[in-house]
Chains A and B, each alone.
Chain A
Amino acid sequence: MRPEALLAVLLVAAVVLGWVRLGWWQWRAPTRSRARRIAALAGLQPVLAGLLWLTLLPPRIAGDAGVLVVATAGAPRLVATGPAERLVALPEAQVTGAERAPDLATALRRYPGTSGLRVVGGGLAARDREAVRGLALAFDPPALPRGLVRLYPPAAVAPGAAFQVAAQIAGVAGGSVELLDPAGRLVDRVAPGADGVAVLGGTARAAGAALFTIRVRGADQAAVEEAAVPVLAVAPLPTRVAIVAGAPGPEVKFLRRWATDAGLAPLVRARLGGGAVVGDGPALTAPALARIDLAIFDDRGWASLSPGERAAVAGAVRSGMGALLRVTGPLPAGVRAQWRAMGIDVAGGQATAPVALAPAAPSEQALQARRGPEPAAAPRDDLPELTRRVVTLPGAVPVLRDAKGAVLAGWRPSGRGRVGVWLVEDSFGLVSAGHGDRYGEWWGGVAAALARPDTRPVVRVESLPRAGERTAVCDLPPGPATVAAPDGRRVALVSDPAAGGCAGYWPQAAGWHLLTGGQGLVRPLYVQPADALPGVRATARRDATLALVGGGNARRDAPESARGASWPWFLGWLAAAGCAWWLERRRSGRPKEA
């Protein structure tokens, strides 16, 4: 029971008790008092109770319904405020003539009646964003800072795999973005479009953590900004691939070669005609397919399957397996219908078109750096002519596109698994033309998108942790977890069930940290220096503040708004109580004693 209610009950009971006692006293008294006196005494009881209530719980002061102007980092030194506005400066702001507040929540406690916020400067820090909930917020976002404004480092990749780094730059007209490998060699260079977005590609090597560098150059080639991009190569869970083909061919041969080199242990089954089958191919039964993560069919190989085998494949896909159809010609209606039933509609396939291939790197040296010390590979511009089937895949997610944006491979979900289509007829041409690295990247990317998902729990960390800022480590496996800083200090992580199982960590030093935990968890974690990526940090603050703009419909009750002083009510109660006492004790109202 809330104290207010308890108090009300008590006071009502006291009033009733007062009346009962008054009546009892009158009834027992030898002489009756005058009716006027009785009425006055009885009437005073609720008045007394009310005054006591107000003394104990004085009414809340109605706050002034003004707008709080919050100066944040990057606010101008002089902030103009309107008549109903009050200026508060948060610690990051350098503003004259403003009331300083350690954080926004404190400022709001000081001004309980605040009806809205106007944020001046770069935006609210993470610390202050929670306090805004429910308040109307106005924010005039500043222009994006010059240099890198958004950076998305790649997720962990397999050894040798290609990865992509997405970045956005602003304020650098005619500039370019470069990716440098840990040896300092240029790997990729992209001139961003009007939106400043650049997607750069690189390749990983052996399993381990590497630090690439992203560099923004201005139109005059002068370096504008540089930042570290951590790339983590992790030895992946073994993937088992089955290749079912209607006939042996170069594509099957090179797929098997690539899969063997990539450690995928491929099973091959190719028909020779007349019932002869070459290869150690898998039996397409439900138990056998449960051990396979990705099955690659060509259209002829699929057409030769028995209905039972097809049903087993469809069932395996629903329980997680990936199935890929290599389209090598116009699909028979039956094949198309069967794959439509599995989840992907492959329309067309009659026409072919050349695949638009662009060089994988901006220069021969960059390609060399991308490929590594590979002995024999073709020059950058010496690209083969490949053919793709012109197919429309309604609703499919593209995995691979050519230089002109035509889809070369795509997938759709089907149960827990995925079904996909591969549209390049002769991708083996890449290998025979000396671009085997690209062949591996293509097939590796498609296989990664389609293969059976990895059910092991994955630790989630923020992509750009920063020295001196809190970062969250989520989905830690059970068991004690620690983070080792570069200077050797170890910090134990404690997961908070209230925060979705995440643990907070405040890195002090920049560099590679090592996160270790239960179930053999070892994960390097790169912490950016505190002063790195100022543009990215400012943009994150700006974007987060912009997301809070508007609101205010959920007007919050202000439980924490202050109550007024209680002493006037106490004086009133004292006067009323004195009056009641006098009425009770005075002789004039009583009948004369005999």
Chain B
Amino acid sequence: MRIERVSDWTRPAMLRAMLRDAALVLPGVLVAGVAAWRRGGVLSLIAVLVVGVLLAGASWWRARQYDRAWLVTALDAARGDLEDSSDLIFADPAGLGPLQRLQRGRVAARLAAAVPDLAPRWPVASIAGLWLAALVTVAALLWWPASEPAVLAPAAEGGPVVPGVPRLVGQRLTVVPPAYTGLPARPLDTLDARVPVGSRLEWTLRFDPVPAGAAIVSPEGTRLPLVRDGDWTAQRVAERSFLYRVVAEGGATPPLHRIDVVADEVPRIRVVAPSRTLTQVTAGQRGWTLGFEVTDDYGVAPAARLRLVLAQGEGENVSFRERALTLRASGDARRRRFGASVDLAALGFRDAGDLVAQLIVADSHGQVVRGPSLILRRPPAALAESGLEASVRRVMPAYFTSQRQIIIDAEALIAQRARLAPEAFVAKSDAIGADQRLLRLRYGQFMGEETGGGATAAMPTSDAEEGATPAHSDDDGHDHKAGPATFGDAGDVTAEYGHTHDESEAATLLDPGTRATLRKVLDAMWQSELALRQGEPRKALGPANTALRFLKQVQQATRVFLARTGTQLPSVDEGRRLTGKRDGIAPALPALVVEPVDASPAAAWRGLASGVVPLEPLTRWLRANEGRVADPLALSAAIDAVRRDPACGACRQRLRGALWSVLARSAPGVRRRADGGASGRRYVEALR
């Protein structure tokens, strides 16, 4: 070594320090690693490795203290004969004064004569103790039984015990239901289970003798390998029902087990109050009490929403307002009760109308259901009639009041005439005229007119598309009046502007008197519209009032009847009947084809009774028709049981039973009676 090179001093020290750290820490890491491997699995092992790397970094960080300053201090402390001048040894000689150089030479010579060992000393006792303890612990970890051997239920796979062939001797199936069920994990002694959908299944199995490998195998062949950890374990999440068997390498094929998945049910809502869906508001009622009982298989969410829709108004003028209340539940999680008291005044439910309440509730799985709509009805005050007549009357005035509104609007416009600009006046008048036109068209429908029966199909209310062929052409089957149209031709309004295509007799359901009145209404409306469009509302008032008066008359005529449809067929000429050639006119009966049925289930069913069982076609059939079989898993398991042990009588009976439910029933056949042999024939003949 060159004594003036610092690194020659520090590097061994650093190395020694790091080795010492390693010697001190490694036993701990080793113990932790072994423990993690034995108990925690791969993840814990990786965590231990990460901690080890971090510790190594820390050790390296610590070793960086062995630098020049440390060297000078250590040399000075170690050797008195260096006269606290060791600093000079490592200084650049070029930068030193002559005296310093002399001192450096002396000190260096002394140092070179006896090079001290500055590296930290080995804590031999601690290292030995730690390693001993660590080795003992590791040995204990390695040789200690992996875990307390779990108490497993004895297996019930059946089958003969053959020495040297692995077979299942212990079993436990732990079902960890999903969180929404709120159920605790439950260990089962059987390998068949009914579990909530989404449950995690954990198998703990024990074989004797221990096989080289084992797996959970589905009949289709998918494998879930079992991991040896003392006992053999595996886990999987059950999303749908399945069959499986526990197969040990070198062992026999054991029977199938079945996991049935129970789907989460949606909550069921029962209305406790009110007792009927439709309730009428009683006199003086201020509030509305609602009560619901919601049941679910696992749990109902503690909060529910009550949707309140307030529908108020009459006829076409109904307004809707929607509100939602949040309800808190009481009672057990699986049977919760929700109650609400709705303040009618606060909701603004004062006039006639309906208040509709609906409970929207979710279960713990997040499945939302809506309850039935409960209606609280406040009937209109002046509703005298009842039944169909009442409902007809209630609907009709919505159309008729508009004529009154047109008169009111027109009168208001006339009153404003002085204050309005002429253009604005004409525009407003025209707008009222448009209203009048819409109303006229509406009544025109009752008369069998066409909807767009105005002057042109380009009107904004026309349903016909732009550029579509006009509804009328010269050859559409009825006369088109030639010549200029004259406004005000009262009797011919429809013929002029929108003459009827359909037969008005058939299109209307009104008696002739009403029809005549309605026609007068239309005429008057047309006059009114004409005046309004021309900006002369004063002239329109007369016809508008006439129309209103006739409308009132129509309102009185509530009788509706169907139009007569004449059946005046030409009389049959009996003389000509059946006189033509009829050779070969009778059609040949179409051949009937019996729908073929896949005979595989029936063949297997019969075969099971006699001995020969074609199981392969049956399996193929089942795979193709899985959706049509009520319980394909049971059938699949029964087929598997027979395949494993074709001689097992009970298995064959079970498969026959399962097959019965999939056997198609042919059309009921006819089994003729026996004639009783010769004596029976003689007897029957003697009866004559």
Contact = CB atoms under 8 A, between A and B. Distances in A.
Interface stretch (B15-23, B460-468, B656-664): B656-664
Contacts of B666: 159-160, 205-206, 261-262
A280 B589 contact: yes
Nearest to B608: A208
Contacts of A320: 675
Contacts of B674: 453-454, 456, 458
A371 B586 CA distance: 37
Nearest to A279: B589
Interface string B110-125: 0000000000000000
Contact of A415 (B586, B658, B685): B685
A287 interface: no
B161 interface: no
A313 interface: no
A75 B493 CA distance: 108
A236 interface: yes
A445 B676 CA distance: 19
A295 to B, nearest CB: 14
Given A208-B605, A454-B675, A158 B660 contact: no
B578 A274 contact: yes
Nearest to B603: A206
A183 B582 contact: no
B589 A268 contact: yes
B670 A453 contact: no
Contacts, number: 161
Contacts of B663: 205-206, 372-373
B481 interface: no
A454 B672 contact: yes
A437 interface: yes
B576 interface: no
Interface stretch (A111-119, A252-260, A547-555): A252-260
B687 interface: yes
A486 B647 CA distance: 12
Contact of A256 (B578, B592, B676, B687): B592
A447 B667 contact: no
A444 B668 contact: yes
Given A160-B665, A260-B592, A272-B586, A184 B657 contact: yes
Interface residues of A, number: 74
A158 B594 contact: no
A262 B660 contact: no
A451 B670 contact: yes
B609 interface: yes
A22 interface: no
Contacts of B586: 272, 276-278
A374 B671 CA distance: 23
A454 B673 contact: yes
> What secondary structure prevails in chain B residues at the interface with A?
loop
Tier of interface size on chain B: 35 or more
Nearest to B684: A416
Interface in B233-248: none
A440 interface: yes
Interface in A245-289: 256-258, 260-264, 268, 272-280
B661 A185 contact: yes
Contacts of B95: none
Contacts of A443: 668
B673 A208 contact: no
B661 A448 contact: no
Interface in A457-509: 457-458, 475, 486
A415 B658 CA distance: 47
A159 B656 CA distance: 16
Given A372-B663, A374-B665, A453-B674, A261 B594 contact: yes
Interface in B52-67: none
Nearest to A280: B589
Nearest to B584: A276
A280 B674 CA distance: 29
A92 interface: no
B652 to A, nearest CB: 11
Interface in A383-440: 413, 415-416, 437, 440
Interface in A29-65: none
Contact of A157 (B582, B629, B671, B677): B671
A371 B674 CA distance: 27
B628 interface: yes
A447 B664 contact: no
B585 interface: yes
A181 interface: yes
B587 interface: yes
11 contacts: A205-B664, A236-B671, A239-B672, A261-B666, A263-B594, A274-B582, A416-B684, A440-B668, A448-B672, A453-B673, A514-B610
Given A161-B668, A262-B666, A512-B609, 9 more contacts: A158-B668, A205-B664, A208-B605, A239-B670, A256-B589, A413-B684, A416-B675, A448-B671, A458-B677
